[in-house]
Structure 1
Amino acid sequence: MDQWEMMFKLILSGVLGALIGFERRSRFKQAGLRTHFVVAVGSALIMLVSKYGFQDFLEIPSVSIDPSRIAAQVVSGVGFLGAGTIIVEHQFVRGLTTAAGLWATAGIGIAIGAGMYIPGIGATIFIVIGLEIFNRVQKNSAHCLGKVVLSLDGIDPVLDILKNSKVRISNIQVNRHYNKNNKDSEAKIMFRMYSVNQSQRKDIMVNILRIPYVKNVNIE
């Protein structure tokens, strides 16, 4: 294959990966435009090397080549990169979509490197449109995460405020642990709230902070 055609494949792969990365970046995700661009170009390059990089060995009768072996390692290798974008915080998992996007971007790079232009471009358009559609759908069920650190006597008043906040609340969890500094026990209330706007979030935080037993409250 002409090496200029290979360069075209790398450029096209980078552009397609950047489209997915731009969508992720617009959502303030950890892996954005640059990461997806590099993953796409790198995957296309590995596919080109796997497919065309060992043609000089084909003249040796005793040597057999499987061009899919190197490219196959991209699928598992990108998994480690995607794992770095997944964050587990207070039993809530974030970054799964971005990790899946990196994995899909690697697949697009492999497809372009293999010369499958229509499937690669089609997958990119389908992923970008799908992400945009599902992001809009998710806004209707948007949620925020909250955490309240307080002494044990303040658990009931905080739970009453959350119950009377007139928003849909799920995943309320109370963890009790020993505080070495104050030599007493304290609790952490972690919760997930749905259909909460900025004004409601502020009112809930203010009402919780008025409770004297509350030490810290955070809703994001």
Structure 2
Amino acid sequence: MTWYEILFRLGVALIIGLIIGFEREHHHRPAGMKTHIMVCMGAAIISIIQILISEETIAKIAEDPSLSEALKVDMGRLGAQVVSGIGFLGAGTILQYRGSIKGLTSAATLWLTACIGLAAGMGYYFLAIGAFVIVMVVLVSLRVLQSREFRRSEVVFDIDIQDKKTAVDNIEYYCNNHGIKISDITVEKSGKGDDNEIYHCFCKMKLPRAFSPDNVIKDLIREEGIVHIAEFSE
């Protein structure tokens, strides 16, 4: 395998991981561009290492046929470890809130990104690009369909706030002005922050059809006392 081919395969993995990660980060999911790039490229590197090991083993056997019984190559061993090992990273994106399990789509996307990286590293470009296209169609088109037809009336937001009273008052004021009903809100200390105490807030809102979670996030992040906000979802 030439250095040009190695760099090309890593480039394919980089681009695929970047685009998938951008889609996830754009919608405020736990794993974003950097994570997906690292996962996809890491899997591709493992595939390339496996190929290089195989080529080196074959070359040594060609030089000395007596080594054929001593040297064995399992082309799928390293890749199998990636597929199973990525589960630990994916588990970090799964959260539970009052009986609801969130983050499964993010975990599955990380796992699938690793599989695509393996395919790119092995040189199966048609498989890698085909899988990538299908993934993007699923993530984008189904999101549009859900937002238009099957969007849940209630959305949970994960919010980090300073100055508890001011932030909560601003959230309630915003919701009242935009016809958004707050069905549940819980605030607890997060342990973050040095000078100013950071509170962790879970806020369940019932959104009008004209509003999307992204609209709420873009508006509330500008309010005083709100440090970070994201949709608590898959």
- Give the TM-score category using the shorter length: 0.5 to 0.7
Partners of 1:80 and 1:195 lie apart in 2 by: 37
Aligned to 1:104: 112
What's the C-alpha RMSD, in Å, of the aligned pairs? Answer: 2.8
Q: Does the C-alpha gap of structure 1 residues 87 and 196 become closer, same or farther in structure 2, counting only changes over 3 Å? A: farther
Aligned to 2:85: 77
Instruction: Give, as a single letter, the amino acid of the residue that structure 2 aligns with 1:111.
Output: A
Partners of 2:204 and 2:126 lie apart in 1 by: 45
Shift of 1:53: 2.3
Instruction: Give, as a single letter, the amino acid of the residue that structure 2 aligns with 1:23.
Output: E
Q: Residues 3-152 of structure 1 correspond to what in structure 2 (within 5 A)? A: 3-58=3-58, 59=61, 60-61=67-68, 62-140=70-148, 141-142=151-152, 143-145=154-156
Gaps of 5+ in 1: 147-166, 173-189, 199-218
Instruction: Give, as a single letter, the amino acid of the residue that structure 2 aligns with 1:21.
Output: G
More strand by share: 1
Q: Secondary structure in 2 aligned to 1:29? A: coil
Instruction: Give, as a single letter, the amino acid of the residue that structure 1 aligns with 2:114.
Output: A
Q: What is the TM-score with the length of structure 1 in the denominator?
A: 0.65
Shift of 1:29: 0.6
Q: What is the TM-score with the length of structure 2 in the denominator?
A: 0.62
Q: Are the counterparts in 2 of residues 144 and 196 from structure 1 also a CA contact under 8 Å?
A: no
Shift of 1:35: 0.5
Shift of 1:55: 3.0
Number of positions where the alignment pairs a residue of Structure 1 with one of Structure 2: 162
Instruction: Give, as a single letter, the amino acid of the residue that structure 1 aligns with 2:109.
Output: G
Structure with larger Rg: 1
Partners of 1:9 and 1:145 lie apart in 2 by: 40
Shift of 1:191: 7.7
Shift of 1:144: 1.7
Partner deviation per Cα, 1:153-211 (whole Å, 9 max, x = no partner): xxxxxxxxxxxxxx9x9xx9xxxxxxxxxxxxxxxxx988586666xxxxxxxxxxxxx
Partners of 2:109 and 2:131 lie apart in 1 by: 11
Q: Secondary structure in 1 aligned to 2:101? A: strand
Gaps of 5+ in 2: 62-66, 158-180, 185-202, 212-230
